[in-house]
Amino acid sequence: MNVADEYRYNRLTWEEMNEAIAMQKVVILPTGSTEQHGRHLPLEVDAFLTGSVCLEVGRRSPEQVLVLPPISYGLNLHHIDFPGTIHIEPETFIAFGLNITKSVAYHGFKKILIVNGHGSNASLVDLIARKTVLSTNSLCAAVGYFSLATAAFNKVRDTQVIAHSDELETSLYLYLAPERVRMDKAEAGDDVMGKYMSSDSTGNYPVRFNDFWGRWTKSGVHGDATTATAEKGKIIFEAAVSGLIEVVDELRNWPIAERSDQHAQPTQSQIHW
């Protein structure tokens, strides 16, 4: 096998992994969820969409990345009133993700990128990335793939809200796997909105607050899926993939400098956090 052409972490043998480490590929960890996505989309949405974007980055830049199998579960207790949703406690999620990134760092990879596709994981993957940097000699960063596609989506969108099972997610899923979308059941839904906060805590509100979805929706949709199309999905996909390739390139070339200790007196170096 030509290791430069293999972008799937788990397809390498341990012997081939030594070559990938020497090449210093960026290791990508996709994170998603298994949760309700309305009546028209399957439970796999977040994990499937994130994984698809990451794997396409690998296909286009195999010499630069290795893509790990995704973490397909996340913080989801707020969706638990809808059948099928799987919830992972935040402390468990952080510990599990950190065990993965520290393992990757242990073997000698210097650059790790967490690519998230589930909104409620955002603060958790940020913490995993920070804790990885502080406990290893590697750099770890986190990004939501959808943030890389927002500008492109804004040019074709017909609806105002980007939230959950909405125009964006449904369009992307229609592009990638249209046979699994029940567009005849697609619908629109809003959360409860105030001056400073909303039930779903969307980005246009300064106060973060997320209520149980069973208190304010019976559809499980926030946004409007009815205007979704595969054509929009292709635009979202291409923007996310190309943006992520640029992120990988920047992270891959980011310098890791030696630390400089400014203490004038001896420190208690036996203390560990």
pLDDT greater than 90 at residue 30: yes
Band of residue 260 on the pLDDT scale cut at 50, 70, 90: very high
pLDDT at 273: 84
Mean pLDDT of all residues in 250-266:
96
Residues 43-61 have pLDDT tens digits of 999 999 999 999 999 999 9
Q: Is the pLDDT of residue 3 over 90?
A: yes
Q: Is 190 exposed, middle or buried (0-12, 13-18, 19+ CB in 10 A)?
A: middle
- Which domains, ranges and CATH numbers included, belong to the chain? 3-252 (3.40.50.10310)
Per cent of the chain over pLDDT 70 is 100
In contact, 225 and 173? CB cutoff 8 Å: no
Mean pLDDT for the chain overall: 97
- Give the pLDDT confidence score for residue 1 in this predicted structure: 80
Whether this model's pTM surpasses 0.85: yes
At 68-88, the pLDDT tens digits run: 999 999 999 999 999 999 999
Kindly state the average pLDDT of the residues 218-236: 98
User: Rounded to whole angstroms, how far apart are CA atoms 230 and 52?
Assistant: 15
Strand 223-224 relative to strand 139-144, pairing = unpaired
Q: What pLDDT band is residue 239 in, cutting at 50, 70 and 90?
A: very high
Classify 11 as helix, strand or coil: helix
Residue 218 is predicted with a pLDDT of 97
Interatomic CA distance for residues 61 and 249, integer angstroms:
10
State what percent of residues in the chain have pLDDT above 90. Answer: 96
Dump the DSSP string for 174-213: HHH-GGG--GGG--EE---B-SS-BTT--TTSSS-----G
pLDDT (mean) for 107-114: 98
